């Protein structure tokens, strides 16, 4: 649909982008996502960990990529707590 060449897709993939510094990253995904979402998340986490980036993967049961944002409605949700932790607020 996007008509990307393999070279353009690779150049723009976060897996292949080098982070400018090892700033912690939270990768949140829903437990109801399909195996490809989980594979891509694992691949990104592994690639960036290899570059020294601290990664936290949150696999949130009962969510998908549309519903997961509702986790931000409560400051006590696992996702909100992880974000607050990165901000030094937990």
pLDDT tens digits along 25-57? 999 999 999 999 999 999 999 999 999 999 999
Q: How confident is the model at residue 18 (pLDDT cuts 50, 70, 90)?
A: confident
Any domain includes 16: no
Dihedral, 66, 69, 71, 20 alpha carbons, nearest 10:
120
Flag whether 62 is in a domain.
Answer: yes
Task: Specify the pLDDT at position 85.
Answer: 94
Core vs surface per residue 8-47: b (16+ CB within 10 A) or e: eeeeeeeeeeeeeeeeebebbbbeebeeeeeebbeebbeb
- Residue 5 belongs to a domain: no
In a domain, 14, yes or no: no
Q: Which domain holds residue 77?
A: 22-86
Residue 46 lies in a domain: yes
User: Residue 41 has what pLDDT?
Assistant: 96
In-domain check, residue 63: yes
Instruction: Look at residue 17 and tell me if it is in a domain.
Output: no
Number of domains in the chain: 1
**Alpha carbon 21 to chain centroid distance?**
17
Q: 12 lies in a domain? A: no
| Per-residue pLDDT at 69 | 95
């Amino acid at each position: 649909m996007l008509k990307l060449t393999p070279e353009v897709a690779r150049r723009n993939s976060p897996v292949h982008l080098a982070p400018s510094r090892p700033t912690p990253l939270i990768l949140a995904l829903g437990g109801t996502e399909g195996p490809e979402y989980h594979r891509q998340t694992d691949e990104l986490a592994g690639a960036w960990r290899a570059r020294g980036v601290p990664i936290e993967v949150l696999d949130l049961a009962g969510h998908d990529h549309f519903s997961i944002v509702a986790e931000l409605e409560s400051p006590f949700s696992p996702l909100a707590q992880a974000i607050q932790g990165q901000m030094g607020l937990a």
